[in-house]
């Protein structure tokens, strides 16, 4: 089957899902730019990507590829008709293809695999997590894991991307509608302070992935991309605060670099210390101490003085 025909069928799956291409990329855990290039015919979908697309779209991989099995299922099964298209997407998969058990978990099997991978990385560290552990957590087989993510490198890349997307989504949700730049910066600091179990787990994953980024070109590129976006977000808030008169007239990019570096350094100390913020009687290194230190930095270095 020609590459453009595969792309056309993938577009039908996206249309049937009723979501944007960016959201669909998030669900199949790939870079949106990769999905765009594949849909435009300048990049081929990998076998694993087609497997994840089939899982999310509840269609047969053979149908995506135009194989005989897929075409037969197209004709014989009662499937969904995509609006404006003559092709019906069938939920029937080839009997010989590895597949997760039905019913599929919320968000689809690929997202479940990635979520469980992230949870296990947080608990044990990436190199201590086996594919068998992930399969057990997902109540499926190792073959099903490899069906969606053939190797550990691809699974790690998907885990990093999922963490990036979740972190970006949480920030966007928390700051939506916030107009005062000072309030928004304090919200961002609060989100990055590891108070809750979920926040601590997320930070544990980041610490493990930092080490991987130093060794892996792929993860390193994702790390650079994420931090470019994160520092850009902070710089934009600071820049807006300067315009509002909330912050001093500072170099927003430089101030963002300093603040994000402070957040990273303090968070690593919090995670290494005692949960109550004390370590052998030393000054507090807990979440509240981290938060107070960051707010003090903002007040001393960024907040514009008020007129008496």
Tell me the per-residue pLDDT of 242-294, one tens digit each, with 9 for 90 and over: 999 999 999 999 999 999 999 999 999 999 876 544 444 455 568 999 999 99
Tell me the per-residue pLDDT of 188-220, one tens digit each, with 9 for 90 and over: 999 999 998 888 888 988 888 788 777 777 777
Rounded mean pLDDT of 292-297?
96
Rounded mean pLDDT of 81-102?
38
**Per-residue DSSP letters for the chain?**
--HHHHHHHHHHHHHHHTS-HHHHHHHTTS-HHHHHHHHTTSSPPPHHHHHHHHHHHT--HHHHHT-HHHHHHHHHS--EEPTT-S-EE--PPPTTS--PPSSPPTT-HHHHHHHHHHHHHHHH-GGG--HHHHHHHTTS-HHHHHHH--SHHHHHHHHHHHHHHHHHHHHHHHHTT---HHHHHHHHHHHHS--SHHHHHHHHHHHHHHHHHTT-HHHHHHHHHHHHHHHHHHHHHHHHHHHHTSB-S--HHHHHHHHHHHHHHHHHHHHHS-TTS-STTPSP-SHHHHHHHHHHHHHHHTBPPPP-
Q: Where does the pLDDT of residue 239 fall: very low under 50, low under 70, confident under 90, or very high at 90 and above?
A: very high
């Amino acid at each position: 089957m020609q590459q453009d025909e595969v792309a056309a069928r993938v577009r039908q799956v996206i249309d049937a899902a009723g979501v944007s291409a960016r959201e669909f990329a998030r669900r199949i855990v790939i870079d949106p730019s990769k999905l765009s290039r594949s849909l435009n015919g300048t990049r081929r979908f990998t076998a694993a990507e087609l497997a994840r697309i089939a899982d999310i779209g509840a269609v047969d991989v053979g149908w995506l590829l135009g194989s005989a099995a897929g075409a037969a299922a197209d004709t014989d099964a009662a499937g969904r008709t995509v609006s404006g298209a003559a092709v019906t997407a069938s939920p029937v998969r080839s009997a010989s293809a590895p597949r997760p058990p039905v019913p599929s978990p919320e968000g689809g099997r690929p997202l479940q695999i990635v979520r469980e991978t992230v949870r296990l990385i947080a608990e044990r560290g990436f190199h201590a997590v086996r594919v068998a552990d992930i399969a057990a957590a997902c109540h499926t087989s190792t073959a099903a894991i490899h069906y969606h993510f053939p190797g550990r490198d691809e699974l790690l890349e998907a885990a990093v991307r999922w963490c990036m997307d979740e972190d970006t989504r949480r920030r966007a949700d928390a700051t939506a509608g916030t107009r005062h730049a000072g309030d928004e910066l304090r919200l961002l600091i609060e989100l990055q302070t590891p108070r809750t179990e979920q926040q601590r787990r997320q930070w544990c994953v980041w610490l493990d992935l930092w080490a991987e980024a130093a060794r892996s070109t792929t993860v390193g590129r994702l790390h650079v991309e994420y931090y470019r976006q994160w520092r850009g977000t902070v710089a934009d808030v600071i820049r807006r605060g300067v315009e509002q008169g909330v912050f001093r007239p500072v170099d927003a990019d430089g101030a963002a670099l300093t603040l994000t570096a402070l957040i990273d350094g303090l968070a690593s100390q919090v995670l290494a210390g005692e949960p109550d913020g004390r370590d052998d009687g030393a000054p507090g290194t807990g979440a509240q101490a981290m938060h107070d230190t960051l707010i003090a930095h903002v007040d001393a270095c960024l907040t514009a003085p008020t007129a008496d």
